[in-house]
């Protein structure tokens, strides 16, 4: 979310990434971002379509209405209602569940979930129960684990989300390792670690 983005900008960037991916994820359905799913489908990609939620109820309403419109038009393969709003404290559990249920009722047949740090789904089992799919952000780096154990730790994060979902599909929506910056306890950023982490997680996911 931010500046208005044009269909041309989206199409140009889509051409760069589409040889290497099968899915794209959008974070918002306003400011031009609502065009991303349609253009993604036109380029043969599947879409995880996000509604960006925060503490502003008016903006949230625009996002919810827009993501429903995109999905009803046939451009969403999965819908994500919010991203880390529990982690940031922007919405209460009840508020979030209400929005998830509203979207689910409007677009039957399309999986609806919520994106947050993997452990939030264990902390908030009612949110996990409301979701059709668990969309988990998993960053071993930010929990200070050394690179050598990062893949094993990522798998543990995934298992935590899987247990919280009680059999529901879990998708790792975000992960990665920085190539620059400060260390986080035993986790050290470097170009080599970033590339090796990418290869390791790509191989595991495949």
Read off the pLDDT of residues 134-169 as tens digits, 9 standing for 90 and up. 999 999 999 999 999 999 999 999 999 999 999 999
Residues 106 and 170 in one domain: no
Over 80: is that where the pLDDT of 1 sits? Answer: no
First to last CA, the chain: 30
Read off the pLDDT of each residue in 65-86 and give the average, rounded to a whole number.
99
Residues β-bridged to residue 113: 80, 133
Residue 162 CB partners (closer than 8 Å, separation 6+): 134, 170
Residue 180 CB partners (closer than 8 Å, separation 6+): 189
Residues 190 and 135 in one domain: yes
pTM, full prediction: 0.96
pLDDT at 29: 98
Q: CA 119 to CA 101: how far, in whole Å?
A: 21
Tell me the C-alpha to C-alpha distance, in Å, between residue 158 and each of 36, 63, 123, 161, 165.
28, 28, 15, 5, 11
Residue 25 domain boundaries: 1-115
Residues 107 and 124 in one domain: no
Q: CA 11 to CA 42: how far, in whole Å?
A: 10
Domain boundary residue, one of 95, 115, 135: 115
Residues 148 and 86 in one domain: no
What 3-state class would DSSP assign to 187?
strand
Residues 10 and 95 in one domain: yes
Q: What percent of the chain has pLDDT over 90?
A: 98
Tell me the C-alpha to C-alpha distance, in Å, between residue 36 and each of 18, 46, 202.
13, 11, 24
Residues 99 and 157 in one domain: no
* Contact indicator for 49, 67 with CB cutoff of 8 Å: yes
Q: What is the count of structural domains for the chain?
A: 2
């Amino acid at each position: 979310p931010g500046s208005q983005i044009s269909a041309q900008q989206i199409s140009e960037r889509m051409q760069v990434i589409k040889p290497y991916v099968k899915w794209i994820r959008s974070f918002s359905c306003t400011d031009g971002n609502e065009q991303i799913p349609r253009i993604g489908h036109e380029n043969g990609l599947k879409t995880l379509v996000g509604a960006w939620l925060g503490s502003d109820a008016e903006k949230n309403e625009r996002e919810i209405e827009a993501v429903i419109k995109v999905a009803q038009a046939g451009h969403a393969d999965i819908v994500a209602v919010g991203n880390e709003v529990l982690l940031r404290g922007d919405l209460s559990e009840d508020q979030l569940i209400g929005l998830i249920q509203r979207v689910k009722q409007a677009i039957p047949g399309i999986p609806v979930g919520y994106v947050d740090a993997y452990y939030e789904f264990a902390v908030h089992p009612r949110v996990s129960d409301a979701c059709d799919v668990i969309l988990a952000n998993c960053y071993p780096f930010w929990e200070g684990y050394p690179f050598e154990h990062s893949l094993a730790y990522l798998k543990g994060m995934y298992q935590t989300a899987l247990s919280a979902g009680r059999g529901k599909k879990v998708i790792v929506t975000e992960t990665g390792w920085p190539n620059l910056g400060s260390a986080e306890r035993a986790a050290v950023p470097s170009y080599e670690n970033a590339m090796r982490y990418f290869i390791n997680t790509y191989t595991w996911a495949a």
